[in-house]
Structure 1
């Protein structure tokens, strides 16, 4: 018999705040974490817009030997995971005595790679690169570092699925627990924020150039959107079997009841309608609920012309006359990329627990597709028990999660 999968802890480090309380307040107050960075313009960026986030100072928490292997995004992930473990009441003794798994979304480690190559080219001596270079530059750097720091003995795997990575990590973690392979899995997503990680995105004109109004640049579903804004940080969700959580007296926050996925099988960067639609339908079918029970949808909508339009079409095809509130928290955070699927679950959880839906900032004029959805441009008070979160990525990878309050 399939096991129930519950959420027992959360942690986050984002442009909206360095912990759950700060992020909840920012969501409630409709705060934007987006700024203009003049250094990016000086270095040849078409757009100087980015989310603002401070790299954690971990000298008082980790040894130098631990920190030397950690790139920027691993430090974000450490901060988020430390909060999530505390939130879930998972102490070192329990972790040492049990097989706790780790699935974390990450799809780049650009800055360390660039720096290693620069040293090699300049010095013409590989020994000058340093011992931390290889571990910082590998795509699996986050899971390598977290598993060693926290002493995790279960599955240890990086999920690399573009902008759906964090969501797929949660979905795959739920499957491992549901089918009895693990009792507890730490899941999440991390994204580096440095210019090296996104300069190629800027080079294909993916970013908004509304530089004189940073807080108004990310405009999901708005008719006048002109591109996304890059963001990042890390978000961690602790998944656990219901039996395990009850046995150890853990706080049970919610239940993962549906995970849907699909591939578009078409263009490498332009999304279609059918792929997201199938991901949505699979998640809802697995959840075993009436579609009208879904009270809120956290859309993937990144503020791009084609992506927002096709997601709006897919949502309308799936939900029809039932029109739950649909927002994209990317209006506040920008696109957190590999982190987004995990952070948006946490944003939605905070709203569900707080009885509100944060505004879809800058939604001033709908287009013909977004006009079919119920998109609030201002914060509303609403009690809802079930939400759905979408995450889609380059290459046509799609992930949808359905989560129920407990």
Structure 2
């Protein structure tokens, strides 16, 4: 049986790109949510809140020649992949171009700026705003293709664009590719840029937080007074590797990915179904040959939307029981959409390795409609556990669950 381990991790978040900095923000319950002044011009947008990774200057991160086909989404994805490969000790390894290294990366959309040129063309017939790379920057698989080209990869490519499960499906499908012998190494993750078009998607559903005067107090996953999500941005890449391949080259083994479950509701595009959400968690447990009691901590999806939080909590309680400790990191970062599954997996592994898990932020009163669970509050929780579960759920009823095992 081919086993799959994590040998490198990196990312970009609204609270920085290094785990010690992010952990310090968690300790202080400091979030990356801001009032976005530029959105004041968008008169029909109710929310003014976002969580930008504004320290990351995507336009200057790589040489200009390398940037020709990259918008912000691709640049964040490529940078995360480069840092993760460096962490794994693979950045200069000839295995990258051997055909045995692949990439799976997701986003809800590509960079949105080039769409202006296409809209202008549709309205006027003038193509002045378009270039040969406009579509490459805009397409939903811009990150995965740019990663492949940047590193000269010739192995398996998996393009996941499933909204909030883009990053987690990239990890899960990479895991399956390695288990099945189709690759020895996979670069897996997701990226998303902050754009008001993402906010208006949820604004039209009355699902965004409009607590514009108190950005540090929202979003509020699982809280009875939550009023919706906040859009964030970021990226993360994890290097997944066949265990014997990693051991043979003396690679650091950070965790093992032991279970993956994914399914879909098949009933409604925006109304989550607890029964099938629970089914994804059960599939992951079955894949890992674990019982519910083996899971020591749950990284929840927790978007701070009414229907989503309630459905997710009931699914989690059904499978893992009322004592399962759970948090959502979206209170700190906002909802990074296609990146959230990868970012949350990265940080969950970091916390599992340290045996300390961050609390929910802005959770003051658990919504009584949510199922009874151990919603971690107050401060970091010390938990010595061998297994953690990371769950994500997306528009269209797409459900994912990943289970990681602590190494050593």
The equivalent of 1:224 in structure 2 is 225
* Structure 2 unaligned residues grouped into runs of 5+: none
Question: How far is the alpha carbon of 1:97 from its aligned partner?
Answer: 4.1
Deviations 1:89-119 (A, max 9, x none): 1122332345310000112125134222255
- Partner-residue secondary structure (3-state), 1:339: helix
The equivalent of 1:34 in structure 2 is 33
Deviations 1:132-164 (A, max 9, x none): 212111111111111111111211231111211
Q: Return closer, same or farther for 1:58/1:362 CA change in 2, 3 Å cut-off.
A: closer
User: What is the Cα-based RMSD across aligned positions, in Å?
Assistant: 1.8
Name whichever of 3-12 and 147-156 sits farther off: 147-156
Q: Return closer, same or farther for 1:122/1:260 CA change in 2, 3 Å cut-off.
A: closer
Alpha carbons 1:295, 1:324 under 8 Å: kept? yes
Name whichever of 216-225 and 94-103 sits farther off: 94-103
The equivalent of 2:326 in structure 1 is 326
The equivalent of 2:403 in structure 1 is 402
The equivalent of 1:120 in structure 2 is 121
> 1:80-229 counterparts in 2 under 5 A?
80-94=80-94, 95-97=96-98, 99-109=100-110, 111-120=112-121, 124-126=125-127, 128-229=129-230
Q: Return closer, same or farther for 1:59/1:190 CA change in 2, 3 Å cut-off.
A: closer
Q: Return closer, same or farther for 1:6/1:248 CA change in 2, 3 Å cut-off.
A: same
Alpha carbons 2:111, 2:138 under 8 Å: kept? yes
Following the alignment from structure 2 to structure 1, what is the Cα–Cα distance between the partners of residues 134 and 123? 15
Deviations 1:243-291 (A, max 9, x none): 1101111111111111011111111111011111100111011111232
Alpha carbons 1:110, 1:197 under 8 Å: kept? no
Alpha carbons 1:24, 1:350 under 8 Å: kept? no
Q: TM-score, normalised by structure 2?
A: 0.94
- Partner-residue secondary structure (3-state), 1:257: strand
The equivalent of 2:296 in structure 1 is 295
Alpha carbons 1:80, 1:234 under 8 Å: kept? yes
Whether 1:72 aligns to 2:72 is yes
Alpha carbons 2:35, 2:212 under 8 Å: kept? yes
Following the alignment from structure 1 to structure 2, what is the Cα–Cα distance between the partners of residues 328 and 293? 20
Question: How far is the alpha carbon of 1:329 from its aligned partner?
Answer: 0.7
Following the alignment from structure 1 to structure 2, what is the Cα–Cα distance between the partners of residues 304 and 91? 40
- Partner-residue secondary structure (3-state), 2:112: helix
Alpha carbons 1:185, 1:238 under 8 Å: kept? yes
The equivalent of 1:342 in structure 2 is 342
Q: Return closer, same or farther for 1:341/1:305 CA change in 2, 3 Å cut-off.
A: same
Following the alignment from structure 2 to structure 1, what is the Cα–Cα distance between the partners of residues 21 and 124? 44
Following the alignment from structure 2 to structure 1, what is the Cα–Cα distance between the partners of residues 21 and 83? 13
Name whichever of 80-89 and 36-45 sits farther off: 36-45
Alpha carbons 1:363, 1:377 under 8 Å: kept? yes
- Partner-residue secondary structure (3-state), 1:11: strand
What is the count of residue pairs matched by the alignment? Answer: 404
Following the alignment from structure 1 to structure 2, what is the Cα–Cα distance between the partners of residues 251 and 233? 25
Q: TM-score, normalised by structure 1?
A: 0.95
Name whichever of 125-134 and 226-235 sits farther off: 125-134
Following the alignment from structure 2 to structure 1, what is the Cα–Cα distance between the partners of residues 185 and 338? 22
Question: How far is the alpha carbon of 1:123 from its aligned partner?
Answer: 7.2
Alpha carbons 1:272, 1:310 under 8 Å: kept? yes
The equivalent of 2:383 in structure 1 is 382
Deviations 1:354-388 (A, max 9, x none): 22111101111112243611001122222222100
Question: How far is the alpha carbon of 1:353 from its aligned partner?
Answer: 1.6
